[in-house]
Every structure is written in C-alpha cells, then in structure tokens.
Structure 1
Amino acid sequence: MLTEYLSNSELLHLTGYRRAGHQSNWLKERSLPHRTDGPRVIVSRVHVQAWLEGRTVPSSGLNLAALR
C-alpha cells in the first residue's frame, strides 16, 4: 500500500543520500517542497510525481503573485 509520503528507503533512492541534511539540500536544489521534523525529511509523493513528469510543483505558502 502506498502512503501519502515517501518512505525512508524511497527518499534514499530518490536523493542518493542517507543523511537528512543532505536529502534536504538535494530537494531544495530541485525546488521540491518538503519539511524536516528533527531527523526526518517528509516529502509528498504527489510533489515527487509532478516533478518527475516535468510539471510545476506546487509549494505551500503565500502566493504573492495572486495579490493585486
């Protein structure tokens, strides 16, 4: 069964890194939204799928471009 978030092994396979700091840096360099929770890196499967398909990855936060 697939969960909403990548497992530790999937995150290792995606980034090539075991350490959370290196994983987080790898994700930042590719503009993949993620959160850190202590030693864990949390990544949405939906964001990774969109990135792999070349679609714009939605990020959380305020969209200042929408304000007029």
Structure 2
Amino acid sequence: MSDWKPIEELPPQAGDYLVLLGDGQMAVGYFDAWKTWGCSGVHQTYDGCGGVAFDAAPSHWMPLPPIPID
C-alpha cells in the first residue's frame, strides 16, 4: 500500500511534506495556509525573481516520516 497522495488531494494542514517531483526526484515541500506548495530547501532552482522553485512540478505528496529517536 502506498502513502503517496496525488498533488490535487490537499494535505489536512500547513507544514512540510515529502513530495515526488514530475522528473522522478523527491524533495521536501512546504504546503502553506494559502493552499500552495513551495520549496523547503531541497531540489530547488533559482527562479530569476528573487525566489526558488522546484526543479519540476510536484505530482504527489506524503507525510514526512517520524524523526528517529536514539
């Protein structure tokens, strides 16, 4: 069973999520309160307008796994 959700199915709340980009790469994306996706610092490209953008548009998302506790 896959935990991946299509990008059209919005997460329940704002926060960081694992996203699958259209080019097959995975990245951490931020889903904001305005229901838009942005980069969280991985697999991003300068967009020429003072910001950053994903290398390719996200196609799917899933919650981040829990942080390991040693």
Greater strand fraction, Structure 1 or Structure 2: 2
Query: Structure 2 length normalisation: TM-score?
Result: 0.27
Which structure is higher in RCO with an 8 Å CA cutoff and minimum separation 6? 2
Query: Structure 1 length normalisation: TM-score?
Result: 0.27
Greater helix fraction, Structure 1 or Structure 2: 1
